[in-house]
Amino acid sequence: MDHVPPPQQMFQHITAYWVTQLMGTAASLGLADCLEAGPLKVAEIATKVGANADALYRVMRACTAVGVFTEQTDKTFANNALSQTLRSNVPGSMRNFAIALSAPGHWRPWEQLTEAVKSGKSTAHAALGQELFEWYGTHPEEGAAFTGAMHNLAALVAAEVTQAIDFSSVGRVVDVGGANATLVSAVLRAFPNTRGVLLDLAHVVEAVKKTLAASGLAERCETVGGDFFKAVPKGDVMLLKQILHDWNDEQCVAILRHCAESLPRGGRVLVVEMIISEDGKPSPAHLMDANMLVLLPGKERTATEYGKLFSAAGLTPGRLLPTHSPFSIIEAIKA
């Protein structure tokens, strides 16, 4: 972006929310799914998705301005590599992520970022009248999109976790706050002798049972509707992907203590998070940290900070394994 004059760069930053909502609308209308079989005239797409053809043309043309969809002659649009990621249920899908991040649960707290900076606290309750995970529990459609969004992100790193960690001698893996069970499912597929447990809030687990049944893993993956601040099911390895970043240090230590209580000696906790580099070098983790400031009591942390949480919970810090995704794997062992 160096060649773009600063005011124009700033214009792009300031209007970035237009793009968020364009992606959200394209995703929730299912525009990319509509184009699965090939290019279509915008009037046909409008009929399929129940939209005004002129407005839809303007929105799809705006999407092409950021490289999403290709406009052919005669108001005809086709999918391209970027719009393919807005399709449902394809490898690399980001469709649910686009829906969830443009929907009220995330959007409204962000409107109050300045308040969060002044108070040092999440604005979720002020903006939504409830804390974020309560909101998802009482807004099932948006909650399902959020669970799907977590699946989109977990799918970016799941294969790397199963390559980096040998689970072949692990009896039981618990996906703590596992949402769509994406991570534990990848482990179970890669290691046929391992069994799994999904722990999440009751309403999340109910919906995920169908996904597990459809993927043929229901027999090998127990589901537990519960609260990780009260207890965590027993297992030999605890997976915590993007759990600790939701909570403050005290809350993290409480979750980790429950994990430690349910592990045997030699058992492991595997935390999958974006890591703030020790030298403060800018990275996407800093943006995710601002997201945590607004939405939840949590924050992104350095590896050293994770190490301190492990020690406070009676666990021994282990390896830090970077992946090709934005996430790293941070290990802790129950000695």
Ligand X SMILES: C[S@@+](CC[C@H](N)C(=O)[O-])C[C@H]1O[C@@H](n2cnc3c(N)ncnc32)[C@H](O)[C@@H]1O
Active-site positions read 245
By the rule CB under 6 A, 232 interacts with ligand X: no
- Whole-angstrom distance, CA of residue 282 vs CA of residue 286: 7
Question: Of the candidates 87, 95, 106, 241, which one interacts with ligand X according to CB under 6 A?
Answer: 241
Which span sits near ligand X by CB under 6 A: 18-26, 207-215, 222-230, 303-311? 222-230
Strand partners, 195: 172
Pick the closer one to ligand X by CB: 59 or 101: 101
Pairing of strands 316-322, 268-273: unpaired
Considering the complex, what minimum distance in angstroms separates the CB of residue 4 from ligand X? Answer: 34
Helices (H) and strands (E) in the chain, counts: 18, 10
Number of other CB atoms surrounding residue 291 within 10 Å: 18
Question: Of the candidates 24, 105, 177, 307, which one interacts with ligand X according to CB under 6 A?
Answer: 177
- Beta strand ranges found along the chain (DSSP E): 40-41, 70-72, 76-78, 172-176, 195-200, 221-225, 237-241, 268-273, 316-322, 328-333
- Whole-angstrom distance, CA of residue 34 vs CA of residue 88: 11
Identify whether the C-beta of residue 237 lies closer than 8 Å to the C-beta of residue 270. Answer: yes
Question: Of the candidates 11, 17, 18, 229, which one interacts with ligand X according to CB under 6 A?
Answer: 229
Question: Of the candidates 36, 206, 219, 227, which one interacts with ligand X according to CB under 6 A?
Answer: 227
Give DSSP secondary structure letters for 188-208: HHH-TT-EEEEEE-HHHHHHH
Pick the closer one to ligand X by CB: 236 or 246: 246
Pick the closer one to ligand X by CB: 60 or 184: 184
The encoded tokens of residue 30 equal 């299912």
Report which DSSP code applies to 275. B
Strand partners, 173: 196, 237
Binding mask 121-140 for ligand X (x = CB under 6 A): ------------x-------
Question: Of the candidates 109, 178, 235, 317, which one interacts with ligand X according to CB under 6 A?
Answer: 178
Pick the closer one to ligand X by CB: 177 or 307: 177
Count of residues that interact with ligand X, criterion CB under 6 A: 18
The encoded tokens of residue 316 equal 């021994």
- List of residues 6+ apart from 168 with CB closer than 8 A: 191, 193, 194
Considering the complex, what minimum distance in angstroms separates the CB of residue 320 from ligand X? Answer: 18
Which span sits near ligand X by CB under 6 A: 29-37, 51-59, 97-105, 223-231? 223-231
Strand partners, 320: 330
Report which DSSP code applies to 74. T
Question: Of the candidates 59, 170, 179, 285, which one interacts with ligand X according to CB under 6 A?
Answer: 179
Question: Of the candidates 204, 217, 285, 315, which one interacts with ligand X according to CB under 6 A?
Answer: 204
Secondary structure (3-state) at 260: helix
By the rule CB under 6 A, 274 interacts with ligand X: no
Pick the closer one to ligand X by CB: 182 or 194: 182
By the rule CB under 6 A, 150 interacts with ligand X: yes
Please, which of residues 31-70 interact with ligand X by CB under 6 A? none
Give me the amino acid identity at 8: Q
Considering the complex, what minimum distance in angstroms separates the CB of residue 291 from ligand X? Answer: 10
Identify whether the C-beta of residue 287 lies closer than 8 Å to the C-beta of residue 304. Answer: no
Pairing of strands 195-200, 172-176: parallel
Considering the complex, what minimum distance in angstroms separates the CB of residue 251 from ligand X? Answer: 9
Pick the closer one to ligand X by CB: 75 or 241: 241
Question: Which residue's beta carbon is nearest to the bound ligand X?
Answer: 177
Please, which of residues 242-261 interact with ligand X by CB under 6 A? 242-243, 246
Residues forming the site for ligand X (CB under 6 A): 133, 150, 154, 177-179, 182, 199-201, 204, 227-229, 241-243, 246
